[in-house]
């Protein structure tokens, strides 16, 4: 469709990927790193895929890129939930300067970790 | 255009640093999850550079497999069976 | 039966979009595989307790929800990028507990995914009506205020879409 729009989307996507990876290195504990992973890197890659769509228009490549973007937008938060819950049950503590941890305080949340209804 | 590939490869090296240095196993799992998403981006830009759409197919397959792998690792961290 | 038809149509349309051609061979292969999947694997999908019938009003609310959602996603990205790049990293993380009023499974799933993709919040677990949310910058310690900040802005839309 338009190559300029595609390039702009590529630049935004690449920058957000870079910010996400810097966050992965800098942030103090796993839950904060997951924040950077699910937000910056997901949206950065989605922007790159949208850029491919704007570059090539309604061709095979553009439609596949759109499908892939939708797929990533659905699966990435799901993987983040699974990883956050898994690491909490695994026993990773929050960063020592964290303000509160209601999940560890609530006995029911800790005990019923695996058996509750899946959402 | 090749510049974008280099930016993403640099991001991959940051992820690899976290895979090597992460103090706990979940940290390494998060880094591997991000690595999968970055590879999808690299494949997409490569498809645009080369103008061939089968690289996008690789990206879709990679996204699928990366998701399944992450879920499997998360279940393993919970210490539970895979059939729940 | 309706469930099988839905799965058949969704898989077939996805296949046709992925191949992006209407050759007879592609269509025949797609129909065969979609039929096999809908017959063999339809019992793996959760069936909803309550029948939610399709209405154009729901679709309209969904289309209205998408731009609002994307606005929050973009805002979230700038927020997290600012916190990451700031030399002192202004973060006050913690896990808070908020209550949702949504009842259906699909509604809760969409709520949890929306929360994960928006400013500094990440759903850790759902127990009944309670959501455990990891928040990168806790701005208030009052649970009521937290619920209002995290959940209410999406519940307005999701209740109209799914209930």
pLDDT, tens digit, for every residue of A85-107?
888 888 777 777 666 667 666 65
Residues C38-78 pLDDT 10s: 888 877 776 655 555 667 777 888 888 888 888 888 887 88
Query: Do B37 and B21 contact (CB within 8 A), yes or no?
Result: no
The whole domain housing A32 covers 2-111
Question: Touching B: which chains, 3+ CB pairs < 8 A?
Answer: A
CA dist., res. B60 & res. A68, Å (int)? 6
B12 inside domain:
yes
Which of helix, strand or coil describes residue C54? coil
Asked if residue B81 is part of any domain, the answer here is: no
How many domains, chain A?
1
Together in a domain, C28 and C60: no
H or E segment at C122? strand C121-127
Using a CB–CB cutoff of 8 Å, tell me whether A82 touches chain C.
no
- The structural domain count of chain B equals 1
Rounded to whole angstroms, the Cα distance separating A31 from A93 reads 10
What residues of C are in contact with residue A99 (Cβ under 8 Å)? 92-94, 138, 141
- Short-list B38, B12, B17, B42, CA closest to B27: B17
CATH at residue A91: 1.10.287
Give the whole-angstrom CA distance, residue C73 versus residue A40.
10
Q: Which of B36-40, C39-43, C60-64, C147-151 has the lowest mean pLDDT?
A: C147-151
Place of tokens 């999850």: B33
C28 band by pLDDT with thresholds 50, 70 and 90: very high
User: Does one domain contain both C144 and C82?
Assistant: yes
d(CA C113, CA C136): 16
Q: Which domain holds residue C33?
A: 2-44
Judge whether A118 lies within some domain: no
**Domain extent for B55:** 2-76
The pLDDT value given to residue C36: 92
What pLDDT was estimated at residue A119? 36
Residues C144 and C65 placed together within one structural domain of the fold: yes
- How far the first Cα of chain B sits from its last, in Å, is 45
C103 and C29 in a single domain? The answer is: no
Nearest-CA neighbor of A46 among A27, A32, A28, A67? A67
Residue A115's pLDDT band, with cuts at 50, 70 and 90, is: very low
Q: Does the interface ipTM go beyond 0.90?
A: no
Residue B27: inside a domain = yes
The reply to whether B54 falls in a domain is: yes
Residue A95 inside a domain? The answer is yes
Q: Which residues of A touch B11 (CB under 8 A)?
A: 17-18, 20-21
Question: What pTM does this model have?
Answer: 0.85
- Mean of per-residue pLDDT scores for chain B: 86
Candidates C145, C137, C146, C147; CA nearest to C80 is C137
Instruction: Give the rounded percent of residues in chain C with a pLDDT score beyond 90.
Output: 6
C116 and C93 within one domain: yes
Q: Domain count for chain C, please give it.
A: 2
What single DSSP character describes residue C149?
I
| Four-CA torsion B30, B36, B40, B46, nearest 10 degrees | 120
Cβ contact (<8 Å) for A80 and C92? no
Between chain A and chain C, how many beta carbons pairs sit less than 8 Å apart?
A: 145
CA–CA dist A95, C134 (Å, integer): 12
Handedness of CA B71, B77, B78, B82 (dihedral sign): positive
Domain assignment of residue A119, yes or no: no
Inter-chain residue contact B78 with A85, CB threshold 8 Å: yes
Asked if A44 and A15 count as a contact pair (C-beta separation under 8 A), the reply is yes
Would residue B84 count as lying in a domain? no
Q: What are phi and psi of C133, to 5 degrees?
A: -125, 125
* Nearest alpha-carbon partner for A51 in A17, A18, A11, A16: A11
């Amino acid at each position: 469709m338009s190559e300029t729009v595609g390039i702009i989307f590529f630049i935004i996507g690449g920058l957000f990927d870079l910010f996400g990876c810097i966050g992965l290195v800098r942030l103090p504990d796993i839950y904060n790193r997951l924040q950077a992973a699910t937000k910056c890197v997901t949206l950065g890659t989605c922007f790159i895929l949208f850029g491919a769509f704007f570059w090539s228009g309604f061709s095979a490549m553009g439609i596949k890129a759109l499908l892939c973007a939708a797929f990533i937008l659905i699966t990435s938060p799901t993987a983040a939930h699974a990883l956050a819950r898994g690491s909490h049950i695994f026993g990773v503590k929050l960063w020592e300067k964290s303000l509160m941890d209601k999940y560890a305080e609530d006995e029911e949340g800790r005990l019923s970790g695996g058996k509750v209804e899946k959402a | 255009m090749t510049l974008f590939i280099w930016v993403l490869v640099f991001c991959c090296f940051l992820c690899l640093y976290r895979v090597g240095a992460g103090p706990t196993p979940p940290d390494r799992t998060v880094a591997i999850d991000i690595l999968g998403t970055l590879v999808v981006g690299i494949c997409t830009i490569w498809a645009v550079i080369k103008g061939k759409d089968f690289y996008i197919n690789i990206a879709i397959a990679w996204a699928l497999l990366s998701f399944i792998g992450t879920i499997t690792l998360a279940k393993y961290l919970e210490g539970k069976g895979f059939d729940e | 039966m309706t469930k099988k038809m839905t799965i058949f149509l969704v898989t077939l349309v996805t296949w046709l979009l992925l191949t992006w051609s209407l050759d007879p061979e592609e269509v025949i292969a797609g129909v065969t595989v979609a039929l096999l999947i809908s017959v063999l694997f339809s019992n793996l999908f959760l069936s909803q307790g309550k029948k939610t019938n399709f209405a154009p009003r729901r679709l309209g609310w969904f289309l209205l929800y998408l731009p609002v959602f994307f606005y929050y996603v973009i805002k979230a990205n700038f927020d997290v990028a600012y916190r990451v790049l700031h030399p002192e990293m202004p973060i006050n993380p913690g896990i808070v507990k908020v209550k949702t009023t949504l009842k259906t499974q699909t509604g809760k799933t969409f709520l949890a995914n929306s929360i994960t993709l928006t400013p500094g919040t990440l759903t850790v677990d759902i127990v009944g009506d309670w959501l455990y949310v990891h928040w990168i910058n806790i701005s208030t310690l009052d649970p009521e205020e937290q619920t209002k900040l995290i959940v209410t802005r999406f519940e307005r839309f999701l209740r109209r879409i799914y209930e």
